[in-house]
Amino acid sequence: MRKNIAGCLVVLCMGALVAGGCAKKDMVKPEEAAPSVTAPAPETAKPAQEAPTQKAPVTEQTPVREPVVAQEPVRESSKAPSGDLQGQLQKIYFNFDSSDLSEESRNILTKNAEYLSRQQSLKIRIEGNCDERGSDDYNMALGERRAKAAKDYLVNLGISSERISIISYGEEKPVDAGHDEAAWAKNRRDEFVVAK
C-alpha cells in the first residue's frame, strides 16, 4: 500500500515538475542565503496513545485570520528564480512525540513569514514528518499536527491561509534512514515546499 501511494506521489510530482518547468520565470539576485539549521536534541519520552487516523496523506485548510504583523510592500524586483525561492524557506524540527513549536522553530517561521510577505504570489505546502517510532496511523496524525502548528503560526504572522496547504507523510519520507537518536531528530521536521 505504501509503495502504491509513494509511486502515485512520484508520478504526480514528476507531472507537476514537467508542467511547471515550462512557465516563464523572472530573475533577481537573492537577498541573502538561509543559515543552516541543526536538529534539536531528542527527548526520551515515549509516545502517547491516540485514536488511529487515516493512512493516506492528510490535508487541511485553516480559516483566514486578521494579520498580526505589518507586511513589507512588494517591490518590482521581489521575484526570484524558482531554485532560490525554495532555498529561502527553512525546515523546522520537533522534539520526540511533540507538535509544539520550540523558540528556534518560531524564529525560523518568522523568517519564513518575512520572506513570504515579500513574495506575495508564492504558495507553499508544509509537509509534516515523523521518525520511525510509533504506528503508521499515529505518525500520520502527528505529522498533520506538526504541519498545522506551523501553518497556524504563519497565518498569525499575517500570511494568508489560502497560500498555505499542509500534508502529513508520517514516517514515509525520512531524510536519514538510520535507526538512532541522531537520525530520528533529523526526521522529526516540517518542510516548506514551493507549490506551483
User: Does residue 177 surpass a pLDDT of 90?
Assistant: yes
Q: Is residue 10 part of a domain?
A: no
- CATH, residue 172: 3.30.1330.60
Between 10-24, 25-39, 171-185, the lowest mean confidence (pLDDT) is in 25-39
Cβ neighbourhood burial of 171 (10 Å; 0-12, 13-18, 19+): buried
Burial code (b: 16+ CB inside 10 Å, e: under 16) for 88-122 equals bbbbbbbbbbbbebeeebeebbeebbbbbbbbeeb
| DSSP code at position 162 | G
**82-116 pLDDT, tens per residue?**
456 667 899 999 999 999 999 999 999 999 999 99
Share of the chain above pLDDT 70, in %: 56
Between 46-60, 101-115, 132-146, the lowest mean confidence (pLDDT) is in 46-60
Q: Is residue 13 part of a domain?
A: no
User: Does residue 16 surpass a pLDDT of 80?
Assistant: no
195 DSSP β-pair partners: 123
Q: Is residue 3 part of a domain?
A: no
Query: What pLDDT sits at residue 2?
Result: 59
Q: Is residue 65 part of a domain?
A: yes
What is the number of structural domains in the chain?
Answer: 1
Q: Is residue 11 part of a domain?
A: no
Query: What pLDDT sits at residue 111?
Result: 96
Query: What pLDDT sits at residue 191?
Result: 96
Q: Is residue 9 part of a domain?
A: no
Query: What pLDDT sits at residue 54?
Result: 46
194: its cell numbers: 514551493
189 DSSP β-pair partners: 93
Share of the chain above pLDDT 90, in %: 54
DSSP characters over 22-62:
TS-------S-PPPP-PPPPPP-PPPPP-----SS-----P
191 DSSP β-pair partners: 127
User: Does residue 194 surpass a pLDDT of 90?
Assistant: yes
Q: Is the pTM of this model over 0.75?
A: no
Q: What is the mean pLDDT of residues 69-83?
A: 41
Range of the domain at 93: 27-195
Coil/strand/helix, residue 93 = strand
